């Protein structure tokens, strides 16, 4: 069975995961992290993609982004992926693939999951035992959102601006949101949806989204549909 194309619809936030092949490390130095961030910044601007959040882990990375066009996100990821592999292979004296196939992604319902997805991304290093608190990790957008630094790659989503009337108010509210964490159910749903490619949201959101794309947005029940003539 042919695999489904990625679900990409402009104007919606997308949660993206790209993993190293066989879970191998994709960074060997601070310069590598900086190179990938530079490529993301350059190509997000080039292809009209707003990057709301990111985390670069040792063997994978997460993004939360809203593309302005249907082709913007795939074009950005292809350009970033190819350029980074060339750079990494040259710097490490290696050849061959670096990524575990194509990147994984899906759409999420803004009101229900956007802030949860940002917290999920920020808390990756904490869950991995790399740092005690999200603020202690250098290679994520969390520092930008709590006022520790200015990160030009980040485009805050309007939902973030609604957290407070002042920069300090928004930063404090977001820091508290991340510190509180997300539920296991939210964490599992965000992981599963990105890896499977099925949209994440309520029934109304999924139904409305299906009207905007020919690609199926949710998993259907196994078996053939029952015709009206056979229904009781």
Q: Given a cut of 60, is residue 84 above it in pLDDT?
A: yes
Q: What confidence tens digit (pLDDT) does each residue in 169-190 have?
A: 999 999 999 999 999 999 999 9
Q: Would you state the pLDDT for residue 231? A: 38
Q: Please report whether residue 178 resides in a domain.
A: yes
Q: What confidence tens digit (pLDDT) does each residue in 28-75 have?
A: 999 999 999 999 999 999 999 999 999 999 999 999 999 999 999 999
Q: pLDDT over 70 for what percent of the chain?
A: 94
Q: Given a cut of 80, is residue 227 above it in pLDDT?
A: no
Q: pLDDT over 90 for what percent of the chain?
A: 88
Q: Would you state the pLDDT for residue 6? A: 84
Q: Would you state the pLDDT for residue 222? A: 56
Phi, psi of 175 (to 5 degrees): -60, -40
Q: Please report whether residue 172 resides in a domain.
A: yes
Q: Please report whether residue 216 resides in a domain.
A: no
Q: Please report whether residue 73 resides in a domain.
A: yes
Q: Are 105 and 194 in contact (CB under 8 A)?
A: yes
Cα–Cα distance measured from residue 143 to residue 175, given in angstroms and rounded to the nearest whole number: 10
Q: Please report whether residue 209 resides in a domain.
A: no
Q: What confidence tens digit (pLDDT) does each residue in 115-169 have?
A: 999 999 999 999 999 999 999 999 999 999 999 999 999 999 999 999 999 999 9
Grade residue 230 by pLDDT with cuts at 50, 70 and 90.
Answer: very low
Smallest CA-to-CA distance from 191 within 124, 133, 137 is with: 124
Q: Please report whether residue 115 resides in a domain.
A: yes
The number of folded domains in the chain is 1
Q: Please report whether residue 4 resides in a domain.
A: no
pTM of the model: 0.92
Q: What confidence tens digit (pLDDT) does each residue in 95-120 have?
A: 999 999 899 999 999 999 999 999 99
CATH number for position 141: 3.30.70.1290
* 3 state SS for 90-150: HHHCCCCCCECCCCEEEEECHHHHHHHHHHHHHCHHHHCCCCCCHHHCCCECHHHHCCCCC
Range of the domain at 18: 14-198
Q: Please report whether residue 183 resides in a domain.
A: yes
């Amino acid at each position: 069975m042919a695999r489904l194309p990625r679900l990409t619809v402009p104007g919606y936030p997308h949660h993206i995961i790209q993993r190293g092949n066989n879970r191998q490390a994709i960074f060997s130095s601070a310069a590598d992290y900086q190179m990938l961030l530079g490529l993301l910044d350059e190509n997000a601007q080039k292809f009209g993609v707003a990057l709301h959040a990111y985390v670069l882990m040792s063997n994978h990375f997460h993004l939360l982004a809203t593309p302005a066009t249907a082709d913007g996100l795939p074009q950005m990821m292809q350009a970033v992926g190819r350029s980074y592999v060339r750079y990494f292979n040259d710097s490490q004296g290696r050849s061959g693939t670096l990524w575990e196939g194509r990147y994984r992604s899906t759409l999420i319902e803004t009101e229900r999951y956007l802030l949860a997805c940002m917290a999920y991304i920020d808390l990756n290093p904490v869950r991995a035992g790399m740092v005690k608190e999200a603020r202690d990790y250098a290679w994520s957008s969390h520092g930008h959102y709590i006022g520790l630094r200015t990160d030009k790659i980040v485009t805050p989503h309007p939902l973030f601006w609604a957290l407070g009337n002042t920069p300090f108010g928004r930063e404090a509210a977001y820091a508290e949101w991340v510190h509180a964490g997300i539920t296991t159910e939210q964490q599992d749903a965000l992981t599963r949806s990105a890896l499977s490619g099925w949209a994440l949201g309520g029934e109304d959101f999924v139904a409305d989204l299906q009207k905007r794309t020919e690609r199926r947005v949710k998993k259907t029940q196994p078996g053939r549909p029952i015709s009206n003539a056979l229904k009781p």
